Amino acid sequence: MIHKFDFLVIGSGIAGMSFALKVAQKGRVALLAKTSLEEANTFYAQGGIASVTLPWDDFEKHVQDTLIAGDGICDKRVVEKVVREAPQQIKELIRWGVDFDKNQTGGFDLHKEGGHSEFRILHHKDNTGQEIQESLIRALKNHPDIQVFDHYFAIEILTQHHLGQKVTKDTPNIECYGAYVLDEGTNEIHTFLSKVTMICTGGIGNIYQTTTNPVVATGDGIAMVYRAKGLVKDMEFVQFHPTALYNPMERPSFLITEALRGYGGVLRTRDGKEFMHSYDRRGSLAPRDIVARAIDSEMKSSGSDFVYLDITHKDPEETQKEYPTIYEKCLSEGIDITKQYIPVAPAAHYLCGGIVVDTDARTTINRLYAAGECSRSGLHGANRLASNSLIEAIVYADAAAKHAMAHLNQFAFKEGIPEWNDKGTSLTEEMVLITQSAKEVGSIMSNYVGIVRSNLRLERALERLEIIYRETENLFVRSTVSRDICELRNIVNVGYLVIKQAMERKESRGLHYTIDYPRKNAVAVS
């Protein structure tokens, strides 16, 4: 079946939905959700969204905080763009119905998180992402020119390659014409043709054993663009959130927001000793890469699987009011956070690299845009400053919308696109192989490409992943296309990119720490 839309949006988080709402004034929009509209990284973002709002705060402070966290890799033009455009996009979110918490004087009730020099994190209790997601969904469902396709999984973006033309990374002017998409309800593969395609597929957390990301975060957009010869960069910079609730039986890991440390939470060893001041003068409010390495160091030196986060010294009523989601979740696990320490451990959380985009959110493939966690704008550099991700997503979705609408009349639907060739058979052992291979990828990435790396570990990871790659490609060619085999293929592709780009960086920088190129004053363990 062939569908034609002016705009095709792949992904249903803040970037995808805000882009759809903005471009719908110019044409018909198809928005693909891999599962339901609610299942996106945005939904799980607890902490909040960063923007300058206080009179004693200013853009330059926010810019400097971002540059410091990014460890010399940020694009300053991009940082200034996002920081300066943030307040207007906050107003847009409020117009769409997002209810940010207010203080007693009617101003925003702002949090402060690690790496920020001022209170500038707008939030809705401790479930900001859920509030944003649900508000955008309400706006989206009421729009007559946006058609939502639930449980539609994009397999590949359409380029000249599908017309029999040879496409290499050096091919000038690669064009995107839409995507091949699997309807999981009927198991049929549809062809979506579009004048403009927007990729907002989120992160890659599920290439690791432990992650705060939802199960849909398998790097699909990045893998598709990579296979289409688009430019992907900075994949070595994977951010591990320092404080996920320690519960080996749960996936995804439950996030204990960084705002708890801004609230006054203190990290302690298993025997109750505060340890962060031994690593950084900012203590428990140091940037995430430093905190994650410090926790990793303490865990390895003690042989423990977790450390503690302590907020028992805070007012119990205030804690329950400000952090009801965390309070109830921990209580369900037998932990009263007003009286007991919270067991926490690092978990894969956010990717700072991805699909390379310019300041209009254009990728290196014509007619293809990207925004959100799947993209690499240059904002985060080597390490993301807390709560900068949601604001980046909506600022870049806005930039993409403006550029795409201004140039829409220059594009036309591509004719002669062949249907997907799906002549494979369903193999009886297919699911066993897929499940086992996915677990192996998670084990490889967690053991060898985690918080602390080395040349030997990376080489070992690459050798093992190449075996899985060959097996997966052979299985993909021979078997009927399914979401499971496509996701496995994507996490293998993305894992390869993380490893290769980590091997190419001959230094320790931000989130990429290697014992072969140690950095002075950096936290390290062997």
What lies within 8 Å, CB to CB, of 332 at 6+ separation is none
> Tokens in use for 376?
């690499």
Q: What is the pTM of this model?
A: 0.91
Question: Is 90 exceeded by the pLDDT of residue 32?
Answer: yes
Least confident of 15-29, 116-130, 195-209, 452-466: 116-130
User: Distance between CA atoms of 52 and 121, rounded to whole angstroms?
Assistant: 8
pLDDT tier, 428 (very low <50, low <70, confident <90, very high otherwise):
low
In sequence order, what are the beta bridge partners of 178? Answer: 158, 193
Confidence of residue 155 (pLDDT cuts 50, 70, 90): very high
Task: Tell me, yes or no, whether 39 and 120 share the same domain.
Answer: yes
Task: Please give the average per-residue pLDDT across 379-403, as a whole number.
Answer: 96
Residues 299, 305 contacting (CB under 8 angstroms): yes
CA–CA distance, 363 with 198 (Å, rounded to integer): 10
Residue 434 pLDDT grade (very low, low, confident, very high; cuts 50, 70, 90): confident
Q: Are residues 271 and 363 in the same domain?
A: no
Q: Is the pLDDT of residue 526 over 50?
A: no
Compute the half-sphere exposure of residue 342: CA atoms within 13 Å on the CB side of its CA: 30
Is the domain of 226 the same as that of 100? yes
Do the domain assignments include residue 132?
A: yes
Instruction: Examine residue 328 and state whether it is found in any structural domain, yes or no.
Output: yes
Q: Are residues 78 and 160 in the same domain?
A: yes
Distance CA 405, CA 423 (A): 38
Q: What is the pLDDT of residue 309?
A: 98
Looking at residue 427, what is its pLDDT? 59
Residue 304 shares a structural domain with residue 318: yes
Q: What is the mean predicted confidence (pLDDT) over 277-305?
A: 90
Q: What is the pLDDT of residue 429?
A: 62
CATH of the domain at 173: 3.50.50.60
Mean pLDDT along residues 165-191 = 86
Average pLDDT of 163-184? 83
Q: Which CATH number belongs to the domain containing residue 331 in this structure?
A: 3.90.700.10
Q: Is residue 133 part of a domain?
A: yes
Cβ 324 vs Cβ 286: under 8 Å: no
* Structural domain contains residue 358: yes
Residues 185 and 249 in one domain: no
Query: Residue 79 has which token pair?
Result: 């940082």
Residue 264 and residue 365 in one domain: no
pLDDT(369) > 60: yes
**Which pLDDT belongs to residue 525?**
43
Give the Cα separation of 445 and 492 in Å (integer).
10
Task: Select the more confidently predicted residue: 433 or 237.
Answer: 237
- Examine residue 520 and state whether it is found in any structural domain, yes or no: no
Question: Given pLDDT bands bounded at 50, 70 and 90, which one contains residue 42?
Answer: confident
Q: Report the distance separating Cα 306 and Cα 18, nearest Å.
A: 38
338 and 287 assigned to the same domain: yes
Return the HEC string of 23-58.
Answer: HCCCCCEEEEECCCCCCCHHHHCCCCEECCCCCCCC
Q: Exactly one of 288, 362, 384, 489 is catalytic; which is it?
A: 288
More confident: 125 or 31: 31
Tens digits of residue pLDDT in 304-339: 999 999 999 999 999 999 999 999 999 999 999 999
The answer, yes or no, to whether residue 362 has pLDDT greater than 90, is: yes
Q: Which amino acid is at 291?
A: V
Mean pLDDT of 180-208: 96
Q: What is the pLDDT of the chain when averaged over all its residues?
A: 92
Residues 113 and 224 in one domain: yes
What are the two backbone dihedrals, phi and then psi, of residue 81, each rounded to the nearest 5 degrees? -60, -50
pLDDT, greater one: 160 or 493 = 493
163 has pLDDT over 90: no
- Our count of domains for the chain comes to 3
What pLDDT does 20 receive? 98
pLDDT for 248: 86
**Residue 288 designated active-site:** yes
With 60 as the cut, is the pLDDT of residue 523 above it?
no
- Exposure class string for 108-146: b at 16+ Cβ within 10 A, else e: bbbbbbbbbebbbbbbbbbbbbbbbbbbbbebbeeeebb
Residues near 461 by beta carbon (within 8 Å), at least 6 away in sequence: 444, 445, 447, 448, 449, 495, 499
Closest residue by Cα to residue 417 from 7, 28, 2: 2
pLDDT band at 143 (very low <50, low <70, confident <90, very high): very high
* 499/433: higher pLDDT: 499
- Same-domain pairing of 95 and 176: yes
Q: Are residues 249 and 139 in the same domain?
A: no
Say if 422 falls within a structural domain: no
Percent of the chain with pLDDT over 70: 95
Of the listed ranges 118-127, 170-179, 402-411, the least confidently predicted one is 170-179
Question: 473 with 495, same domain?
Answer: yes
Look at 150-159, 191-200, 257-266, 313-322 and tell me which has the smallest mean pLDDT.
257-266
pLDDT at 68 over 70: yes
Q: How far apart are CA 113 and CA 119, in angstroms?
A: 8
Query: Which CATH number do you get for residue 457?
Result: 1.20.58.100
486 in a structural domain: yes
Q: Considering the domain boundaries, does residue 526 fall inside one?
A: no
- pLDDT band of residue 47 (cuts 50, 70, 90) is confident
- Mean pLDDT value of segment 104-118: 90
The answer on pLDDT for 235 being more than 60 is yes
Q: For position 520, what pLDDT does the model report?
A: 65
Q: Please, which pLDDT band fits residue 173 given cuts at 50, 70 and 90?
A: confident
Tokens coding 89: 């996009």
Which residue range forms the structural domain that includes residue 134? 2-236+352-410
Q: Check if the beta carbon of residue 518 is closer than 8 Å to that of residue 526.
A: no
Task: Give the C-alpha separation, 241 to 512, whole Å.
Answer: 14
Sign for the pseudo-dihedral over CA of 132, 135, 138, 142: negative
Distance in angstroms (rounded) separating the CA atoms of residues 248 and 238:
21
Q: How far apart are CA 102 and CA 132, in angstroms?
A: 16
The predicted pLDDT at position 323 comes to: 93
Give yes or no for residue 67 having a pLDDT over 50.
yes
Task: Please report the pLDDT score of residue 398 as a whole number.
Answer: 98
Whole-number Å distance between alpha carbons of 369 and 414: 17
Environment class of 200 (CB within 10 Å of its CB; exposed 0-12, middle 13-18, buried 19+): buried
